[in-house]
Chains A and B, each alone.
Chain A
Amino acid sequence: MKKSNKDYRLREVKCATGFNWSNLKAELRAIWESNIKAWKLDFAYPVSFVRQLISPVVFMLPFLLYGLALIGGRYSENLAQLVGTGDVVAFIFTGYIMMGFIGTAVWAMGFSMRREQWFGTLEAIYVTPASRLGQILGMALHSTVHQGIGTIIQFIFIYVTFGLVLNIGGILPALGIFALMLFALYGFGIVISALSLILKEGWIVSDIFYSIMTILSPVAYPLIVLPTLAQQASAIFPTAPALIGMRSFLIEDYIPEVVGNVFLHLLVLGAVWILFGVFVFHLADRYVRKRGMLKKF
């Protein structure tokens, strides 16, 4: 029996389009699934997963032990003169928790597209009826939770080994600042992922940005010790105002090295970086598709 044209017709899938609730729900679902996929990949390599969880401790230890060796204890007179507090353990810990989240933006988000290319799934993702940014935001969600677990391990390690005196009442406002910083970092991560679409050896770009942000962020030292130009440049990245704001709430007697409204600063940075990130990503996306660069390594 011959089949009619109707029998051969492909199954129609209705996709929500435009700016409406059902489309938003579909996009959120895509972000969630991208996050779940990243977790599944993580659990497929348990050794790598565990190693990544302890890496925040491994990379913070040199800053701590070096600092303690320099001053022969945990109290620095000079640091106290600069920022009001001399407790180097609290100062470094509150600074270093940020480092992993810089890595989240630069490496995890920045490389999410490149990773799909290595797996050979980038083209499949490109033809799905969902925003390509969903892939990056899914990765952002995954790596933020992943890094959050690493930070909790870091906190427990420091608390047990060195003892940590933090202002408990300042945790909530510090978390608010942290959330604002994350938005701006996500924008930055979108820029890096756009660059990694164009530049095939994008890890170098990521490493350069990571190193520059590390130097310009007051992680293990106050901004005052940087040259004036570097201090001014640090204002365009969210980590510097966020660290200053968080320390103001978390560390007793801390005197912020830059006076200003941290919340407003971070709100502006968040909006600018996200808009700039989305704009750059759309440009890069069109550029690579026009030139047929998706398949190139």
Chain B
Amino acid sequence: MMESVYQQSALRSNLFVVWNELIKNMKFLMAYPIIFVFWAVFPIFWFIPFIFQGQAFVGGLQSASFGQITGTEEFIPFIVIGSVLNSYVNTLLYGMGESIRREALQGTLDYVLVAPTNKVYVLIGKALSESLSSTMFAASQLAISALLFGMNLTLGVMLPVFLIVILLILGLYGLSLVLAAFSLLYKQSHDVSETIGYVFYVFSPVRYPLESLPFWAQIFGKIIPLTYALIIVRSIMLLGASLSSLYFEVLALLAIDAVLIFAGFYMFNWMENKAKKSGAISHY
């Protein structure tokens, strides 16, 4: 009886930690409304040059050569989807890695680490807030793009897409945990985040189909979760494919997620112990 009450109370405490971490991070975000508006709107400007480039090179909004590789001749929706999903990489990868660093800069990291709670729940709270803000930004960008370029956003299309976005976020959580672990011990995880961001940008089909890359680069691209997320989402939104017909890509994404999350938690626990032993936590 006592044990059950204790377990319930422990669960409630952990959920309390997650919830409050989420609220704290959302308050930080809302404290800078201009940053919120920037991420919700401005990434659209980053892909507009690709639309003008397409018009200049093919003289219209459709390309037969592009259709032969991707299955769709319309390059604008292809670019829009790539950019919106890539924005998750930008916010989650940099956001999570930097969130631990931010605690150190604000002078609160020591308190967070000595609090009588499992740090995993603190990280889950941080991850949830990053996912929530990323989804708000992505939804805004997608809605504006749909208005400007006329894309199909029915509920039947968006539900499976939402599921895939969750799977992408899970994989990025794993990577972010590795980055958070790095910033605990080595402080400047920014360079590692940037480098991973570059790898995702070049080896995933964000702006161009995977087939445009050399064979060795295509193989490398296939171990990146963003690659599968982009292939699945574009197949659903642009080619009208069902989720069941894409089971191989979904399974591959799930497998990559599992590996990344396991590696992330393992690395974080290992680095946290190492940082505590070396006394590097309060270093900048």
Q: Which residues of A contact B45 (CB under 8 A)?
A: 208, 211-212, 214-215
B197 to chain A, nearest CB (A): 9
Q: Which residues of A contact B57 (CB under 8 A)?
A: 67, 70-71, 76, 78-79, 88, 221
Mark out the residues of chain A between 160 and 187 whose CB falls within 8 Å of any chain B CB in the assembled complex: none
Q: Which residues of A contact B245 (CB under 8 A)?
A: none
Q: Which residues of B contact A79 (CB under 8 A)?
A: 56-57
Q: A70-B66, A211-B46 are in contact. Are A82 and B198 (CB under 8 A)?
A: no
Q: Taking CB as reference atom, which chain A residue is nearest B190?
A: A48
Partner-binding segment picked from B127-135, B136-144, B207-215: B207-215
Residues A226 and B50 in contact, CB atoms below 8 Å apart: no
Residues B42 and A70 in contact, CB atoms below 8 Å apart: no
Q: How many residues of B contact A (CB 8 A)?
A: 41
Q: Which residues of B contact A225 (CB under 8 A)?
A: 52, 55-56
30 A-B pairs (CB sep. < 8 Å): A47-B191, A48-B191, A51-B191, A61-B202, A62-B206, A68-B208, A68-B212, A69-B69, A69-B70, A70-B54, A70-B63, A70-B66, A71-B58, A73-B65, A76-B57, A76-B58, A78-B56, A78-B58, A79-B56, A201-B34, A201-B35, A204-B34, A207-B42, A208-B42, A208-B45, A215-B48, A220-B50, A220-B56, A221-B56, A225-B55
From B55, B56, B188, B211, name the one whose CB has the most chain A CB atoms within 10 angstroms.
Answer: B56
B173-206 vs A, CB cutoff 8 Å, 1 = contact: the mask equals: 0000000000000001001001100100110001
Q: A72-B65, A220-B53 are in contact. Are A62 and B35 (CB under 8 A)?
A: no
A79 to chain B, nearest CB (A): 6
Q: A interface, how many residues as a size bin?
A: 35 or more
From A62, A69, A220, A222, name the one whose CB has the most chain B CB atoms within 10 angstroms.
Answer: A69
Where the two chains meet, the residues of B that have a C-beta atom closer than 8 Å to any C-beta of A are: 32, 34-35, 38, 42, 45-46, 48-50, 52-59, 63-66, 68-70, 75, 79, 188, 191, 194-195, 198, 201-202, 206-209, 211-213
**A82 to B191 CA separation, bound complex (whole angstroms):** 41
Q: Which residues of B contact A67 (CB under 8 A)?
A: 53, 57
- Mostly, the A contact residues are helix
Mark out the residues of chain A between 20 and 77 whose CB falls within 8 Å of any chain B CB in the assembled complex: 45, 47-48, 51, 54-55, 58, 61-63, 65-73, 76-77
**A73 to B68 CA separation, bound complex (whole angstroms):** 13
Q: Which residues of B contact A51 (CB under 8 A)?
A: 191, 194-195, 198
From B32, B49, B58, B206, name the one whose CB has the most chain A CB atoms within 10 angstroms.
Answer: B49
Residues A211 and B42 in contact, CB atoms below 8 Å apart: yes
Q: Which residues of B contact A82 (CB under 8 A)?
A: 56
Residues B34 and A62 in contact, CB atoms below 8 Å apart: no
**A70 to B208 CA separation, bound complex (whole angstroms):** 9
**A226 to B209 CA separation, bound complex (whole angstroms):** 25
Q: A68-B212, A207-B38, A208-B42 are in contact. Are A58 and B69 (CB under 8 A)?
A: no
